[in-house]
Amino acid sequence: MYYILQHPWPWYVAGPLIGLIVPALLLLGNKHFGISANLRHACAACFPAGIKFFQYDWKKEIWNFFFVAGIFLGAVIAVQLLPNPQPVRVNPSLVKELAGYGIVNNGSLLPVELFSWKSLLTLRGLIMLVGGGFLVGFGTRYAGGCTSGHAIMGLSNLQWPSLVATVMFMAGGFFMANVVLPFILHL
């Protein structure tokens, strides 16, 4: 059992398990899956102000806080109690491409050349972490939800806006990875 929890699960196991969250949430309480709404709930709970967007009964959505806490707790348990002793495997062609940008594969999930306090204080780091964070937050709000909410919950409910949002998320991701990211990494 320990071995099963310590290694990544294949897509054909993990995908259906994630997909089963949707009917479970709908059947157990008519709840909708999504992560980004939690920021709105947290703001409504912690910073009650005269902003109309935050004036609603956030207590009806308190289950979302427990959901996010479970994700966080699961991550802590996975890292502390179920670490995978093997280094992160990265496709050799990606390793070669990243080496051209000065990013070395050291077996870590997050390369220190991109994700460190030292890199944050560079132009590349500011663009990627601060600018990227702003764009993700803005895009999530503009699209009315995050990728998990639209692609998992919205598509399963056959919602046209979720299909449009998911297609745009994917198109933006492909454009970013193949056009914008190489430009930024050359900085």
pLDDT in tens, 111-144: 888 888 888 888 888 888 888 889 888 888 888 8
Tens digit of pLDDT for each residue in 20-77? 888 888 888 888 777 888 888 888 888 877 888 888 888 888 888 898 899 899 989 8
Examine residue 65 and state whether it is found in any structural domain, yes or no: yes
Examine residue 11 and state whether it is found in any structural domain, yes or no: yes
Percent of all residues in the chain with a pLDDT value above 90, rounded to a whole number: 11
Examine residue 174 and state whether it is found in any structural domain, yes or no: no
What are φ and ψ of residue 134, in 5° steps? -65, -45
Cα–Cα distance between 156 and 163 in angstroms, integer? 10
pLDDT, residue 2, reads 67
Examine residue 167 and state whether it is found in any structural domain, yes or no: no
pLDDT, residue 179, reads 92
Cα–Cα distance between 57 and 43 in angstroms, integer? 12
Does the pTM surpass 0.85? The reply is no
Examine residue 160 and state whether it is found in any structural domain, yes or no: no
Question: Measured between alpha carbons, how far is residue 115 from residues 39, 61, 93, 103, 112 in Å?
Answer: 23, 33, 21, 11, 5
The tally of domains found in the chain comes to 1
Instruction: Count Cα atoms within 13 angstroms, Cβ side, for 58.
Output: 18
Q: What domain range includes position 40?
A: 1-86
Mean pLDDT of the chain: 84
Between 4 and 183, name the one with better pLDDT. Answer: 183
What lies within 8 Å, CB to CB, of 48 at 6+ separation is 54
